[in-house]
Amino acid sequence: MKPYIVIVHKDENSAYGMSFPDAPGCFSAADEIDDIFAMASEALELWAEGMREDGLTISEPRDFEVLRADPKWVERFADAEIVIAVEAPWAQSRQAAE
């Protein structure tokens, strides 16, 4: 499974905010940059859990280049502090079981 792209923003005197373009309604924040990956992974897991509970489909994440060219997200990418890729936590569990 492809990783989920996470757009990380940082305004002065604020936490690092995270947007997940391919996980609508999923968001997170971290006070320290060292916590970004852990918080992003936790947010994705909670988002997926809610999707499953609601009987909704979890869509596959798009390729980075496709996502970056999406007009809906171009501005967010341009203003990003950093952009990270996070493997879906449920994919890691699946791989460990195999």
Q: Mind listing the pLDDT tens digit for each residue in 30-79?
A: 999 999 999 999 999 999 999 999 999 998 999 999 999 999 999 999 99
Sheet holding 82-86, edge to edge: 27-30, 16-19, 4-10, 82-86
23 contacts: CB under 8 Å, gap ≥ 6 = 4, 44, 47, 48, 61
The domains of the chain are located at 4-97
For 78-96, write each residue's pLDDT tens digit.
999 999 999 988 775 544 4
Whether 5 contacts 22, CB under 8 Å = yes
Helix (H, G, I), strand (E, B) or coil at 37: helix
* CATH number of this structure's domain 4-97: 3.30.160.250
